[in-house]
Structures are given as structure tokens and as C-alpha cells.
Amino acid sequence: MDVVTDNFRHEKVQRFEEFVDRRLKPDLVHAIAERDKVFEQQKVFSDLRRNIENLEKNSITNVRTLVNLGSEVYVQGDVPDTRSIFVDIGLGFHVEFTWSEALKFISLKEERLTRQIEEYTQLIASIKAQIKLVCEGIRELLQLPAERTVEERVF
Amino acid sequence: MVLKHLRPLQVHFSPASEQAVGVRGGLWVLSSSSLSTSRLPLKVDWLILEVSREASLPSEVVRSKPPICEAEVEGSQSGVIMESGRVKGTVTSLASLFPAQDARKAASRVQDAISEKQRELEQLRGFITDNDNLIKLVQKLPEELHHEVMVPFGKAAFFPGRLIHTNEFLVLLGEGYYAERTSKQTAEILKRRGKALDSQVDSLKAMMDNLKAEASFFDATASEAEDGLVEIKEEYVEENFCEQESTSGVNKQDVPSVSGVDKAKIAEIDAEYARMMARFDELEKEEELAAANGNKSDDEDEEEKGTQNQSLERFYGDKQSLSKGSTSTWPRDENVSSKELLNKYQKQQEASTNPSNCSGLSVQTSPKEDVTSGNNSLTESQRVINPNPAAKSVTFAEVKEKNQTLPPSTNQAFTGSIIERPPIIPKTSKQETETTLQPSGSQPSKPVSRFKMQRR
């Protein structure tokens, strides 16, 4: 009898562990990576916004830049008219904007990106909670004493 | 691995037997169905050498050895190979050393490493193609004065613009340093980078080849372990070496026993020794004859010594053929013994035991002189032993001088000393002396007195 229950319990624990290792943890990693991507995008657009604001403030109409050809080889590039700017709106499409239009789009985009980040953060939190839950379940199955929470020092 | 040794041996020795066959000389040949299917092409040189040495021995020697023993290995996971009750080696199944599972695991791990390297290689290949494209681009750009392009502005935006100064490139040299180069120069820099990439690809390929070989080895090991291949280990004891040691030991014992004349030891000496003695007797007879011919000058004595040397050498040659397998070791032994003898001379040990100790003789034997002179039989027996006493005494003195002045490494000194060894003579030649001459209580002290006689 004992042996049977032991076997059963062992099997269950194993299944739980597998669930944590093969499902929850990869999910967590994936979610974190996605959120990082969004963070990056957010940074790109905030940079772009700052740059455009800079151009606006200084009313720069033509720009000389260095264009990266790859492998850190640069050629000089000349932009005769900076008033029209092509902004990536996603899925490989670029739209020609004026500065004010671009700034409007960028603020919309940033808003969306922050929402996405929030979603991802929620997702990550829930995954972490699930992992914790399953771990607790395993602990109960094994009838181990509850983990003692280390008392945090108050500085 | 010891296992690898088995295959070449199997080819040489027992092509079709179903058992493990022990071969003398620290070798074991295993031929079973599993072994014959094993595809290990490795050769081990020393084993083959050993085999050839074995094969080149005189047939007589081989016959004199205990019959080749056979050990049943099949079916047993591990065991011990015995020869005449002595543990010769151990038999261990490969599976116990390298479980097939572990081998498979190792192989899969190596496979993972290979796939990782493969990814790296693909990445490198991508770099190379990028580099090639860039070279083409850099070479093409100066063809036009300017190019209409979209100039990137940040990562997410472009300006419509154009490339100007198309023959001026800013190239990163590394560590944040940039150099302004023309199109040609830039292309050269990029080509050099391409070469570096190529060499990286080559090294990566070599590593992958190594890993692949490793993986195949692990796979082979696993399959062999599953097949039930057996590993046979035996301590490599160089039997020849042992024999040589023992013989030399005998020799060493002989030299002192010559002085000590231990009857018990003589009893132990085998037919080989008897033959040796017979040879000595022959030599004795020759000497006797020579002595009968009358006095000889020193030169003649020298000549005789030469002949003696030859005969001795012949004798040793005989002994060589007799000795089991240890052919090449004999000269060294002789040297050793000779050195010992000479050292003895220098130390001037008891003259009574060793007649060739000239220096001690005069003092020690002076009281015995009377005895010898008084006893005819004794003197005669002495004469038998030392055919031409006068000449001998001279030579002995010479030898002694040499010993004292020169290091005891010269061959001649050694041969002379060996010839003069008195103790051998009393052992077996006693009968002869007794038969031909009056029986005398030939004792170890005799030689001394004889020497004295010679001096007189």
C-alpha cells in the first residue's frame, strides 16, 4: 500500500517537475526576451524623438552623416532636405512624415510599446507565480517543511 | 588500451582459434568471434617486436619452455589467466570498464559539441559572405560621384539622401581607432579580414573533425562493450631480463663460491654447470700438457693465455647457446664478473681463498710454504692445476700491477683473472687430480700454497 502511494507520489512529483522545467521555465525565458525586444524598440523611438526634436529646435535642414556600410566601414552621406523623414511603422513599411507628423506617430508608438511592456511584465509575473505554485505543490507532496523565509535585515 | 594490442597479435599467431591463447613473453592473444569483428586498426609496435623476438629464438629454447597454456575466457565476465599456478594477468570485460550506456552518453555529448561548432561555422560563413559583398560594394562605389540612397537616421528612420565622397572610407581598425582609406585600400583591408576568417573556418573544421573522430570512437567503444569484448591485461615482465638477472646472479655466486667452495651449492648446479666444468677440465688438461712440455718464456705464456682466452670464449659461446633466450646479455655479465674480480684483487682479500691475490700471498702463505714443500702430493696436485707455475707467477704479478694502476675495465685483465679462478678447478677436476695423482685433501687453502710454490 505504502509502496503504491509512494510510487504514485513519486510519479506526480516527477510530472510536476517536468511541467516546471519544460513548460514554465522556457515560457518565462521567452517572455523576458520579448519584453527586452520591446524595451529596445522603445529606446529606438525615444532616440528618434529626441533627434527630431533636436533638428526642430536647431532648424537644421541639411545633414552630413556617416553611413555604415557594414563591418564598420563608413561613407559620408549627405541629406539635402531633412524635412521629410521616413519612419519605420512596422512590418517593413516606412512612411514619409514631416517632423510634426513623425513626432505624433512616435508618441503613439511609444504609448503602445509601454502597454506591451506592461503586458509582458504581467505575463512574466504570472509565470513566476505558477512556478512557485508548482514548487509548493511538490513540497507538499514530499511533505517537506515549509521554506523558512529569511528575515530581511532592516538597515 | 590494451585491447588494441590484440588484433595484430591475433593476425600473427592464432588465426582461427576460439580461445584466449597465452603466449610466453608477457603476451596474450585473444581471438574470439567478437574480436575478429572488431574494427580496430591500431598497431602496437612493442608487441610486434616482442613477437618477433620470440619467433627468432632457437627452436630448442622454445621447446624447453612449458607448453603454451590456454585459458578459457569465453562466457566469463572477468577472470584470471594462470600459468603453472602463477597469476599471469586479468581478463575484464570491456562492458564493466566502459558501460555501453556511458559510452553512448559521451558520444551524444560529443555530438552536441559538434552541432555547436557547426553553428559557429555557419555564422563564420555568414561573416565571410558579408565581407565579400562589402568588398564588392566598396570597389563599386567610386564608380559614381554620388549615389542616391536612404540615409539611416537612427534605427527606425531614414532620410532620402545620397552618398558623397565615394572614394573616402572610414574604416575601423579596432579599439575605437578609425582610418580614412581609399576604396582600394579599404578593399585590401577587407580582404585581409577575409583571410583571417578563412583561417578561423579551417581551424573550426579541424576541431570538428577531431570531435567527429572522438564521437566515432565512443560509438565503437559502446558497440564493442555491447558485443562483449574482453580486455586482457598482463603485467609486462620481461622474462629474458629475469633470466639474465638470475644467470648473472649465479655467476656472481660462482665467483665467490669459487673461493668458498660450497659443496651444497655445487650439488644444486645443473647439467649446464656440469658441462661448464667439463670444459674447464679440458682446459686443465691442455694446461697440463703445456706444462709437461717444460718451461716456457713469458712470451709463450702470453700466447698460451691468448689460446686460453679463445677457449674460454668458445666456452662462453656454448653457454650462450645453452642459456634460454638471453643471448645478448652475456657479454655484460662477463664484464660485471670481471669487474668484481678485479675489485677483489684490489681489495686484496684473503689470499688463501683466491690464489690470484698475489700481494697477500707472500705474507700469508709463508708459514704454509713448509707444508707444501713437505707434501709432495700437494705440490703435484698444484701443478696439475697450474701447469707452468713459473710463468704463471710472472703473469700474475703483471696482472696485479695492472689492477693496481689501471681501472679494472680492461678486457685482458679480466680474462686473465677468470682463467686463474682456482675454485672452479677443485670442484670437478678433483676426480681427475685424484685419479692421475695421489689423492690429496685438496682444500681451499691449497691454491695459496701452490702459488707460493710458483713463486719459489
Look up residue B434 and give its amino acid: E
Calculate the CA dihedral of residues A50, A56, A57, A58 and round it to 10 degrees. Answer: 110
Q: Are B208 and B114 in contact (CB under 8 A)?
A: yes
CATH architecture of B89-235: Orthogonal Bundle (1.10)
- Tens place of pLDDT per residue across chain B (456 aa): 333 333 333 333 333 333 333 344 444 433 333 333 344 443 333 333 333 333 333 333 333 333 333 334 444 444 555 555 566 677 777 777 777 788 888 888 899 999 999 999 999 999 999 999 999 998 988 888 888 888 888 888 888 888 888 888 999 988 889 999 899 999 999 999 999 999 999 999 999 999 999 888 888 888 888 777 777 877 777 666 555 555 444 444 444 444 444 555 555 557 788 888 888 899 999 888 888 876 544 444 444 444 455 545 555 545 444 444 444 444 444 444 445 555 555 554 444 444 444 443 444 444 444 444 444 444 444 444 444 444 444 444 444 444 444 444 444 445 544 555 555 444 444 444 444 444 444 444 444 555 555 554
- Asked if B162's CB is within 8 angstroms of A75's CB, the reply is no
The span from the CA of B144 to the CA of B167, in Å, is 9
Nearest CA in chain B to A80: B161
Beta-carbon contacts of residue B312 (< 8 Å; ≥ 6 apart)? B283, B415, B418, B419
Would you give the end-to-end CA distance of chain A in angstroms?
53
Cell of B261: 667452495
Interchain pair A45, B156: CB under 8 A: yes
A154 phi/psi in degrees, rounded to 5: -100, 120
Q: Which residues of A99-137 are buried (b: 16+ CB within 10 A; e: fewer)?
A: eeebbebbeebbeebeebbeebeebbeebeebbeebeee
DSSP letter, residue B157: E
Sign of the alpha-carbon torsion through B389, B394, B399, B404 = positive
Cβ separation of B170 and A66 shorter than 8 Å?
yes
d(CA A65, CA A56): 17
Angle subtended by helix axes B3-12 and B45-56, to nearest 10: 30
H helix or E strand, kind and range, residue B286: helix B271-292
Which residues on chain B are in Cβ contact (under 8 Å) with A63? 151, 153, 159, 161
Per the structure block, which three cell numbers stand in for B95?
Answer: 562492458
Are A48 and B157 a contacting pair at CB < 8 A?
Answer: yes
A76/B146 CB distance under 8 A? no
Is the ipTM value over 0.85, yes or no?
A: no
Inter-chain Cβ pairs, chain A and chain B, closer than 8 A? 104
Q: Which residues of chain A neighbour B150 with C-beta distances below 8 Å?
A: 86
- A45 contacts B172? CB cut-off 8 A: no
> Rounded to whole angstroms, how far apart are CA atoms B49 and B65?
20
Query: In angstroms, what CA-CA distances link B87 with B21, B241, B267, B321, B443?
Result: 15, 19, 31, 29, 46
Q: Kindly report the number of other CB atoms within 10 A of residue B310's CB atom.
A: 11
B267 interfacial to chain A (CB closer than 8 Å): no
